[in-house]
Chain A
Amino acid sequence: MAAVQVSEAEKVYILHGIRDDLRVDGRGCEDYRHMEIETDVVSNTDGSAKVTLGHTAVLVGIKAEIGKPRPMVPDEGYLEFFVDCSANATPEFEGRGGEELGTELSNTLYKVFNNKHSVDLKSLCISTGEHCWVLYVDVLLLQCDGNLYDAISVAIKAALFNTKIPRVHISADDEGGKEIELSDDPYDCMRLNVENVPCIVTLCKVGHRHVVDATLQEKACSVASLIISVTHKGTVTCTRKVGGGSLDPESIFEMTEAGKRVGKALHAPLMKLLQQEESLGKKHQKVGFLG
């Protein structure tokens, strides 16, 4: 991933600062950078959201398509993830440079989001064993400035909130053939319940302490970080360690607790913001990508 070169002196400066709960940009250890969210930014998706976190920018688009349910869970739909590391984000992604990171990210996202505890997959079922909605979640990295997971998870949650799936009716004819009928009102849509959709909090171990929403410089000083997905109730649904270094059990516990706390606090304002945006309706002017 995009790495920055940090000199020894800088490292010491950052480490000492974090030790005293004061980071280079003035934040505390559990503070996020400035975050901007806008939904419904791509008109030809069923749901989309753009999130900027510091200089990190991600765009998530969700397309709903009709597919066949997985044989093990015939009454559920499912999500598919694809992360595109655009070379816009950093020159390292050029060519196939971003592929590895993309796969890693999409695998993690799949683990976090594609389960019935996070998203109500049963509501995506159209007819048991035959048709279900498949949500293709496409993540596009526009700019990398650290803490991709958190930004992506927030964007996914916002995009799922924004997703409008056209309502379909199954009409069965006399001899059992099923026909999918589409409502001719484009406003007649199904919305997803995103209450339980978790957000990911990445905690970076820097020195003896850990920080939330690490910048690239801070990341360079860290050897390992922990990814925790937390629901609005504070339930941890998934944890994962990334990075080359090791973590001792005690700090894992500490970091989990901190992640729960931060994650729980993240949901409420996010939902409030999304509802507020929704209530503005169609009339309000979009900021878009040039704003």
Chain B
Amino acid sequence: MLKSKTFVKKTRSGGVMKIVREHYLRDDIWCGSESCSECKQESTVLQRDACIESNLCPYAHYLIPDTNVVLHQIDVLEDPVIRNVIIVQTVLQEVRHRSAPVYKRLKDIIHEKEKHFYTFTNEHHNETFVEREPGESANDRNDRAIRVAAKWYSQHLKTSKSDPDGLKVVLLTNDQGNKEKAEESGLLVYKCEEYIKSLIANPELVDQLALSNDDKNEITSSKMLFPEHLPLSRIQAGIKSGSFLQGTFRASRDNYLEATVFVQGEGEDSTEGLQNLNRGVHQDVVAVQLLPRDQWVAPSSFVLQDEGAAKDDDAEEEEDRVLRISAAEAARKPTGKVVGIIKRSWRPFCGMLNVSHIKESTRHLFTPADRRVPRIRIETRQAATLAGQRIMVAIDGWPRHSRYPNGHFVRSLGSAGDKETEQEVLLLEHDVPHQAFSQAVLSFLPKMPWSITPEDMVKREDLRHLTVCSVDPPGCTDIDDALHCRELDNGNLEVGVHIADVSHFIRPGNALDKEAANRGTTVYLCGKLIRAVTMFFFDFIRMAFSCIWEMNHKAEILKTRFTKSVINSKASLTYAEAQMRIDDTTRTDDITKSLRGLNKLAKILKKQRIQNGALTLSSLEVRFHIDSETHDPIDLQTKELIVFVCAMLSFQHTTVHLVIRETNSMVEEFMLLANISVAQKIYDEFPDCAMLRKHPAPPPSNYDILLKAAKSKAVEIHTDSAKALADSLDVAKVDNFPYFNTLLRILATRCMMQAVYFCSGMDSDFHHYGLASPIYTHFTSPIRRYADIIVHRLLAVAIGADSTYPDLMDKHKQSALANNLNYRHKMSQYAQRASVAFHTQLFFKSRGILNEEGFVLFVRKNAIIVLIPRFGLEGTVFFDTKDKATPNLVFDEEGPTLKVEQHTFCIFDKVKVTISLDDSNIQHQKIRMSLIDPVIPGVSVPAPDVEPQAKKPKLDR
């Protein structure tokens, strides 16, 4: 049967259009129930014995939630207890329209077999389709459609002959009006809360209930704390007219009454005071109104942490006043107030529960791990169990009269301090997608065992006769590059870099590709690795993408060509093995000859590159020796890394595997060369849409700290160009201070900018500062990074080995992809750092208190930052601790030096400190350092006895 749906729509040009859609009704839509004998369905979803133990419904029943229940209580629906639910199509469509993330979660539940969720396409069912009636709003019509569907089900299940008891359907809704109407028409209907509370076996589900707005009257006093948010239409009008500014809300880490709003193109505005922040949460998109100039304030240097459980308002006003006074006239910044929220970016937050002092209370405050997120009030009956655990909480809303947003408990991650839990927390907090790969993604993996088919060979060159070998760090599983070198008949050398042809397996647009594009990069944590692409096994015969140069003996490139190929790796060596072969003069086999040729060329290439001004900087890396049983770090060792900037900023395998040998740099050298050659090729072919990588030169002001530090040791550093910097770093030496050069390089590293991916059509500056290369990209590690896959595809199109697809040539899409990759990249580095920090804490926890020597790396107003070379650890020694009287501090910005009482600290000073773990705040454990030497009365501490405390924990076990 044909019906037509009519609606009127406003067009973009301001016109009004009537749109008519044909809508077909069918009589072959089945109910999906196991107990139904009428419907001619092939398979059923809903079970016959759909029993959830409930006070309200002791009989077998199916649930039909309405749209708002799905939108707000998706956490509950996801619980394994809730099964046999009918999702009406009307609900599905409304959810899709209103919230994409909830829709995705709902779809995932529906696909899960154990959940027994059935989608009933009521909108196309002959008997359940309803047309909108005059005077009926769209919502009312949808509610009616859901009721009609529920009614149909209850009658349908009653009439099915096979089941004499009859299954029942229960409609869940939170809408009073809808509930009444449903009751009128004889349906079983409950409020979601009522129903969940009635579940006998699962009282913990109640905690996951989101607080609905109807409950607000019970929560707190009626006093309005916040001004009202303006409606969206007025905000939009205001932004158009310029009276409001739109920006991203960034709460201050240190002061909960302060935030900045980053306005595109305008820089930053600060907002201050609880009233003006007006319920903005970190990362929300908000509209702000600037205050008159005389009310502008300067960002205070005060550190205010929201400590109290529920302070009374007087105390807050006091704090506000403190802020006002602290504002110095000159340092005032534009200040505004939040008038409305354009887009909330609430996600579930990780954190811990502050158990309420009142024993019976079910309301507790939750403190997120991220200090920029306000505390959240949640309701739970399991406070006792949840205390001391890391939990996730989602915000449901922030009413005007409430000091804190209201939320609900989502799930527990495990007990705090536990390694698994902490790892989960830091992955979640850094937005690293780390779920197991879904079945859809895995289905696109090549079937094992795979072999090379003749079709594969059509566009491939057979290079199996070449002596190709791979050189990798020991224990490396991701072998994705191999090299060869041979002498040609004309006396020149042929050098090839062969990269695993991952793009042959990951086809654009499929689930595997999308997942990899989203994940962007592989994340390396201590003892864990989160991959961007699921694992492939490449054996000795494999498909590769080869970059082959013809070079003379001076390492000048005469010819470059790219081809898809098939190679046969003759050996896979570790760096050490390769080095041994090169050094062993008795060996004259092909592999060794090839390695020697490579090594020779690499040395020349490196020299050339350094002459061009490539930077060699330094950073300290920590490596943990992990106890194989407990997985606790039992020792740690630092490696001084002399790495090229590219490697460090992009964290290629050098930083991960930490080996410094000639062979390492040999492989690295050819990878760089391949990257540069490929970058040039794809840019020549696709000037608008090549995926490149650039490393902008840092602005001169970035070098201030480096220059000052060097000057204090009477060393001059030139920063006019990368070459000047590299040269002056090379000669910077101080007698009797061998570590000086490394320290200087560490400082120089901090001055650098982040290297980023970009689309060539969207940018004009391509220069890679660190490598001193005019153009650069990532080609050599497609298993680890998605950017390389894109580059592979571009190159494949450029040489005619593969076909293109629209997104590849769309510079806006490419640019968006590059942004995501940059974001993932940044977050993965943060996650990695956090992981190292956590393991360092674990290490010091087992070690107790230690005395160590270190160097002053930075000098701050009230503290010095000390680097302990032995552990690669950086820590802050504060001079103004809360419990002690502040010593006399004089800070000189020019030095920079800090005079504490009589002693003056400069950068590079050698100091002795004690290191201990401060676990007073279990959520933010940190390494505490205090000064031992130089001895300053009232500031430094006596050297504690460091005897075998370290052994104790082991003995206990």
Q: Which of A65, A171, A173, A186 contacts B15 (CB 8 A)?
A: A65
Q: A43-B20, A185-B137, A186-B132 are in contact. Are A66 and B14 (CB under 8 A)?
A: yes
A21 to B134, CA, bound (A): 51
A66 to B233, CA, bound (A): 22
Q: A185-B137, A187-B134 are in contact. Are A166 and B8 (CB under 8 A)?
A: yes
Asked if B10 is an interface residue, CB under 8 A from chain A, the answer is: yes
What is the minimal beta-carbon distance from A78 to any residue of chain B, in angstroms?
16
A168 to B9, CA, bound (A): 11
A174 to B243, CA, bound (A): 11
Q: Which residue of B lies closest to A168 (CB)?
A: B16
Q: Is the CB of A182 within 8 A of B8?
A: yes
Q: Which of B14, B132, B135, B233 contacts A180 (CB 8 A)?
A: B14
Those of A16-56 within 8 Å (CB) of chain B? 43-46
A171 to B241, CA, bound (A): 15
Q: Which of B7, B16, B133 contacts A66 (CB 8 A)?
A: B16
Asked if A245 is an interface residue, CB under 8 A from chain B, the answer is: no
Asked if B155 is an interface residue, CB under 8 A from chain A, the answer is: no
Asked if B559 is an interface residue, CB under 8 A from chain A, the answer is: no
Contacts of A45 in B (CB 8 A): 18
Asked if A175 is an interface residue, CB under 8 A from chain B, the answer is: yes
Q: Which residue of B lies closest to A167 (CB)?
A: B8
Which among B9, B10, B20 has the highest number of chain A CB atoms within 10 Å?
B10
Q: Is the CB of A175 within 8 A of B8?
A: no
Which among B18, B133, B134, B243 has the highest number of chain A CB atoms within 10 Å?
B18
What is the minimal beta-carbon distance from B623 to any residue of chain A, in angstroms?
62
Asked if A71 is an interface residue, CB under 8 A from chain B, the answer is: no
Q: Is the CB of B8 within 8 A of A186?
A: yes
Contacts of B243 in A (CB 8 A): 174
Main secondary structure of the interface of A (DSSP, over half): loop
Contacts of A64 in B (CB 8 A): 16
Asked if B4 is an interface residue, CB under 8 A from chain A, the answer is: yes
Main secondary structure of the interface of B (DSSP, over half): mixed
Q: Which of A43, A65, A182, A185 contacts B10 (CB 8 A)?
A: A182
- Count of interface residues, chain A, beta-carbon cutoff 8 Å: 22
Those of A166-208 within 8 Å (CB) of chain B? 166, 168, 171, 173-175, 177, 180, 182, 184-187
User: Contact mask A57-95 → B, CB, 8 Å, 1/0?
Assistant: 000000111100000000000000000000000000000
Those of B1-39 within 8 Å (CB) of chain A? 4, 6-10, 14-16, 18-20
Q: Which residue of A lies closest to B233 (CB)?
A: A171
Q: Is the CB of B20 within 8 A of A65?
A: no
Asked if B801 is an interface residue, CB under 8 A from chain A, the answer is: no
Asked if B440 is an interface residue, CB under 8 A from chain A, the answer is: no
Contacts of A186 in B (CB 8 A): 6-8, 132
Q: Is the CB of B16 within 8 A of A182?
A: yes
A186 to B132, CA, bound (A): 9
Q: Which residue of B lies closest to A166 (CB)?
A: B8
A166 to B233, CA, bound (A): 21
A186 to B135, CA, bound (A): 9
A45 to B19, CA, bound (A): 9
Q: Which of A44, A66, A173 contacts B237 (CB 8 A)?
A: A173
Q: Is the CB of B135 within 8 A of A44?
A: no
Q: Is the CB of B134 within 8 A of A46?
A: no
Q: A43-B4, A175-B241, A182-B10 are in contact. Are A65 and B16 (CB under 8 A)?
A: yes
Q: A43-B6, A186-B6 are in contact. Are A180 and B237 (CB under 8 A)?
A: no
Asked if B138 is an interface residue, CB under 8 A from chain A, the answer is: yes
Asked if B240 is an interface residue, CB under 8 A from chain A, the answer is: yes
A187 to B135, CA, bound (A): 7
A168 to B16, CA, bound (A): 9
A63 to B17, CA, bound (A): 9
Q: Is the CB of A166 within 8 A of B14?
A: no
Q: Is the CB of B20 within 8 A of A44?
A: yes
Q: Which residue of A lies closest to B135 (CB)?
A: A187
What is the minimal beta-carbon distance from B413 to any residue of chain A, in angstroms?
43
Contacts of B138 in A (CB 8 A): 184
Q: Is the CB of A174 within 8 A of B237?
A: yes
Q: Is the CB of A166 within 8 A of B16?
A: yes
A88 to B131, CA, bound (A): 36
Q: Is the CB of A44 within 8 A of B18?
A: yes
Q: Which residue of A lies closest to B137 (CB)?
A: A185
Q: Which residue of A lies closest to B234 (CB)?
A: A173
A134 to B246, CA, bound (A): 38
Q: Is the CB of A180 within 8 A of B6?
A: no
Contacts of B237 in A (CB 8 A): 173-174, 177
Q: Which residue of A lies closest to B6 (CB)?
A: A186
What is the minimal beta-carbon distance from A191 to any residue of chain B, in angstroms?
13
Contacts of B240 in A (CB 8 A): 173, 177
Contacts of B134 in A (CB 8 A): 185, 187
Contacts of B241 in A (CB 8 A): 173-175
Q: Is the CB of B135 within 8 A of A185?
A: yes
What is the minimal beta-carbon distance from B306 to any residue of chain A, in angstroms?
37
What is the minimal beta-carbon distance from B143 to any residue of chain A, in angstroms?
15
Q: Which residue of B lies closest to A178 (CB)?
A: B14
What is the minimal beta-carbon distance from B467 to any residue of chain A, in angstroms?
72
Contacts of B133 in A (CB 8 A): 187
Which among B8, B9, B20 has the highest number of chain A CB atoms within 10 Å?
B8
Q: A43-B6, A174-B241, A177-B240 are in contact. Are A184 and B137 (CB under 8 A)?
A: yes
User: Contact mask B131-153 → A, CB, 8 Å, 1/0?
Assistant: 11111111000000000000000
A177 to B241, CA, bound (A): 10
Contacts of B131 in A (CB 8 A): 282
Contacts of A180 in B (CB 8 A): 10, 14, 16
Contacts of A184 in B (CB 8 A): 137-138
User: Contact mask B111-146 → A, CB, 8 Å, 1/0?
Assistant: 000000000000000000001111111100000000
What is the minimal beta-carbon distance from A260 to any residue of chain B, in angstroms?
38
Q: Is the CB of A166 within 8 A of B18?
A: yes
Q: Which of B7, B18, B238 contacts A46 (CB 8 A)?
A: B18
A43 to B20, CA, bound (A): 7
Contacts of A182 in B (CB 8 A): 8-10, 16
What is the minimal beta-carbon distance from B330 to any residue of chain A, in angstroms?
35
18 examples of A-B residue contacts, CB within 8 angstroms: A43-B6, A63-B18, A65-B15, A65-B16, A66-B14, A174-B238, A177-B237, A177-B240, A180-B10, A180-B14, A180-B16, A182-B9, A182-B10, A184-B138, A186-B7, A187-B132, A187-B134, A282-B131
Query: Can you list the 7 inter-chain pairs with the closest CB atoms, starting with the nearest?
Result: A187-B134, A173-B237, A44-B20, A166-B8, A43-B20, A182-B10, A66-B15
Chain B interface residues toward A at CB < 8 A: 4, 6-10, 14-16, 18-20, 131-138, 233, 237-238, 240-241, 243
Q: A43-B6, A174-B241, A187-B135 are in contact. List 14 more A-B contacts (CB 8 A).
A: A43-B20, A65-B16, A66-B15, A66-B16, A166-B18, A168-B16, A171-B233, A174-B238, A177-B237, A180-B16, A185-B136, A187-B132, A187-B134, A282-B131
